[in-house]
Amino acid sequence: MINSNHTTPSSLHSSFPSPHVVSLVPLFDHLHSLELLLALSVFVVLHSLRQRKLHGLPVWPLLGMAPSLVSGLRGDMYEYISEVICRQNGTFRFKGPWFTNLNCVVTSDPRNLEHLLKTRFPNFPKGPYFRDTVRDLLGDGIFNADDETWQRQRKTASIEFHSARFRQLTVDSLFELMHSRLLPVLEESVRSFSSLDLQDVLLRLTFDNVCMIAFGADPGCLRPGLPEIPFARAFEDATEATVLRFVTPTCIWKAMRYLEVGPERTLRRCIKGVDEFAEQVIRTRKKELALDSEGGKKKSDILTVFMGLRDDGGRPYSDKFLRDICVNFILAGRDTSSVALSWFFWLLHKNPAVEERIVEEINRVVRERTNGSDGGEDEELVFRPGEIKRMEYLQAAISESLRLYPSVPIDHKEVVEDDVFPDGTVLKKGTKVLYVMYAMGRMEAIWGKDCREFRPERWLRDGRFLSESAYKFAAFNGGPRLCLGKDFAYYQMKFAAASILYRYKVEVVEGHPVVPKLALTMYMKHGLRVRLSRRHGPKTLI
């Protein structure tokens, strides 16, 4: 039983093994095996824990690149991703923890965006992962639809968005909200010498506005006293709870949904709130249409338009589908313009020379209306669509603001069949692709050395606004899924900005922290606390 290959302590003392020693030998043998096993295990664990690097980022076994992402989260996440993308010349592969769905290719290369959004559009749908994650809130609405369901909605909505009726609705609804609601709120803050959260009032403005366009109903968020509207709150909370699903392993949020616990419980409650509001609006509209001899021909909100249509089987759309359509339009237009305007006002605060040029342009347009006389104190002044169109420097400044702070900072697609990006990145079927608009605005390769500067002049040629390729400036997406509300959004933002800047100087309260919130839309995490002062003496200019 003596293992001649091993020198045990007992064998050193005696060449004759004592019974005691003999009995210990198997134990030592056994210990050796354990040691070996232990050493081997430690080696395997250490070896596996050893970090590999991919695209300059450490990759941890089981956890992938998540730890470096978490360290990025301590600072500004968007800046962190931008840094990595710039270091990797526009594209990198992110490996998430094994238990999540976070493996993806991340890109900000305009060539890849063109490939993804236009050239190979059918190969990059939203995909089953996205649809499954947001289905409870968005149903089969335009944002969450691919293929024919998407095409049908896109076609109908596109015709409507370009109709004269719809344009008139946007002009009328915005005029009403701006002059009867928003400006009185701003005026009150001047009168009472108090500061206000500009992002909050702008969010209220665009929420009311998009509900008027989608439902033909005004929820009243901007009413005096700025009341909390249950539908608006339910909508916001439901969106936040849905976003949480993207960073939660699918099996976990599905289990929580089944058990009705945690954020899934909130989500269910909020979706119920959204549904109740939508059902009530749909019921009321149906009654109105039944009583209307013209069958709603004068109305041009999205709900009425879709109510007049038939599905492939010649049947009217179900109430559930009508609900989905409206909820998606509200999501699309609810806060994209208002957060863009918040960043715009903040950038003006940091760049007073740009603000001065915008105010000069607005005053020039007003003077042109009044044949050269100073119309700068017209209390009732309402900008006309033609005048808004002529404000090209304002358009450049808003575009520049969206370049640096795109309302949708990151978007998502899924690969149907194996593919290769123009930059050579190989994409396997099922790969998720994230394209990062925020990083694009910070890439010297796209915008030059001054890419981080706020310089509206980069959008002007001979004083005229010149738009950029949708794959270089992708704030509104591009290709067949280009934002349907782009023209409306520019009109809305320019009208709001001009109406405010013509009357007030907007100053951000000193020390107010301005940082982006990590969400699907680029909100300011702490809002934008500002103080307003009148530009034209003490008169009330509404």
Q: Among 106, 116, 234, 340, which residue interacts with ligand HEM (rule: CB under 6 A)?
A: 340
Q: Which residue's CB is nearer to ligand HEM, number 181 or number 531?
A: 181
Neighbours of 294 (CB within 10 A): 8
Q: Which residue's CB is nearer to ligand HEM, number 66 or number 396?
A: 396
Residues pairing with 507 in the sheet = 531
Provide, rounded to whole angstroms, the least separation between the CB of residue 137 and ligand HEM. Answer: 14
Question: Dmax of the chain from CA atoms?
Answer: 122
Mutual angle of helices 392-404 and 486-503, in 10-degree steps: 110
CA 451 – CA 458 distance, rounded (Å): 10
Q: Among 107, 173, 399, 477, which residue interacts with ligand HEM (rule: CB under 6 A)?
A: 477
CA 297 – CA 283 distance, rounded (Å): 18
CA distances 385 to 120, 175, 365, 423, Å, are 37, 11, 12, 43
Phi, psi of 368 (to 5 degrees): -60, -35
Binding mask 372-411 for ligand HEM (x = CB under 6 A): -----------------------------------xx--x
CA 441 – CA 111 distance, rounded (Å): 15
Question: Contact 405/74 with Cβ under 8 angstroms?
Answer: no
Q: Which residue's CB is nearer to ligand HEM, number 471 or number 476?
A: 476
Q: Which residue's CB is nearer to ligand HEM, number 91 or number 477?
A: 477
Q: Single out the segment in contact with ligand HEM by CB under 6 A; choices: 32-40, 225-233, 335-343, 370-378.
A: 335-343
Q: Among 346, 454, 473, 488, which residue interacts with ligand HEM (rule: CB under 6 A)?
A: 488
Direct distance between the N- and C-terminal alpha carbons of the chain, in angstroms, rounded to an integer: 103
Q: Single out the segment in contact with ligand HEM by CB under 6 A; choices: 250-258, 281-289, 330-338, 382-390.
A: 330-338
Q: Among 142, 202, 358, 362, which residue interacts with ligand HEM (rule: CB under 6 A)?
A: 142
The two beta strands, 104-107 and 410-414, are unpaired
Q: Among 333, 409, 456, 516, which residue interacts with ligand HEM (rule: CB under 6 A)?
A: 333
Q: Single out the segment in contact with ligand HEM by CB under 6 A; choices: 37-45, 57-65, 379-387, 478-486.
A: 478-486
Phi, psi of 216 (to 5 degrees): 70, 20
Q: Among 391, 484, 496, 506, which residue interacts with ligand HEM (rule: CB under 6 A)?
A: 484
Query: Closest by alpha carbon to 518, among 404, 410, 440?
Result: 410
476 binds ligand HEM, rule: CB under 6 A: yes
Provide, rounded to whole angstroms, the least separation between the CB of residue 53 and ligand HEM. Answer: 32
327 binds ligand HEM, rule: CB under 6 A: no
Q: Among 196, 332, 443, 446, which residue interacts with ligand HEM (rule: CB under 6 A)?
A: 332
475 binds ligand HEM, rule: CB under 6 A: yes
Provide, rounded to whole angstroms, the least separation between the CB of residue 440 and ligand HEM. Answer: 12
Provide, rounded to whole angstroms, the least separation between the CB of residue 489 and ligand HEM. Answer: 4
Question: Contact 407/522 with Cβ under 8 angstroms?
Answer: yes
Residues pairing with 508 in the sheet = 530
Provide, rounded to whole angstroms, the least separation between the CB of residue 180 and ligand HEM. Answer: 20
Say which amino acid occupies 531: R
186 binds ligand HEM, rule: CB under 6 A: no
Q: Which residues contact 160 (CB under 8 A, 6 or more apart)?
A: 166, 300, 302, 305
Q: Which residue's CB is nearer to ligand HEM, number 340 or number 427?
A: 340
DSSP secondary structure code for residue 534 in this structure: E
Q: Which residue's CB is nearer to ligand HEM, number 95 or number 481?
A: 481
Phi, psi of 465 (to 5 degrees): -70, 135
Q: Single out the segment in contact with ligand HEM by CB under 6 A; choices: 286-294, 315-323, 332-340, 344-352.
A: 332-340
Q: Print burial letters for 480-493: b (CB count within 10 Å at least 16), e (below 16).
A: ebebbbeebbbbbb
166 binds ligand HEM, rule: CB under 6 A: no
Query: Closest by alpha carbon to 431, among 37, 128, 67?
Result: 128
Q: Among 59, 303, 483, 500, which residue interacts with ligand HEM (rule: CB under 6 A)?
A: 483
436 binds ligand HEM, rule: CB under 6 A: no
Provide, rounded to whole angstroms, the least separation between the CB of residue 536 and ligand HEM. Answer: 29
Q: Single out the segment in contact with ligand HEM by CB under 6 A; choices: 39-47, 66-74, 327-335, 458-466.
A: 327-335
Query: Closest by alpha carbon to 531, among 191, 205, 203, 190?
Result: 190
Provide, rounded to whole angstroms, the least separation between the CB of residue 433 and ligand HEM. Answer: 12
Write out the two tokens for 244: 């949480």
Provide, rounded to whole angstroms, the least separation between the CB of residue 199 and ligand HEM. Answer: 14
118 binds ligand HEM, rule: CB under 6 A: no
Q: Single out the segment in contact with ligand HEM by CB under 6 A; choices: 54-62, 266-274, 326-334, 528-536.
A: 326-334
Question: Contact 117/223 with Cβ under 8 angstroms?
Answer: no
347 binds ligand HEM, rule: CB under 6 A: no
Question: Contact 17/10 with Cβ under 8 angstroms?
Answer: yes
Write out the two tokens for 531: 């103080």
Say which amino acid occupies 523: Y
H-type alpha helices, 215-335? 230-246, 250-259, 262-291, 302-307, 319-334
Provide, rounded to whole angstroms, the least separation between the CB of residue 398 and ligand HEM. Answer: 8
Q: Single out the segment in contact with ligand HEM by CB under 6 A; choices: 241-249, 427-435, 454-462, 479-487.
A: 479-487
CA 408 – CA 92 distance, rounded (Å): 20
- Find the residue with minimal CB distance to ligand HEM: 485
Positions touching ligand HEM (CB under 6 A) are 142-143, 154, 210, 213, 329, 332-333, 336-337, 340, 407-408, 411, 475-477, 481, 483-485, 488-489
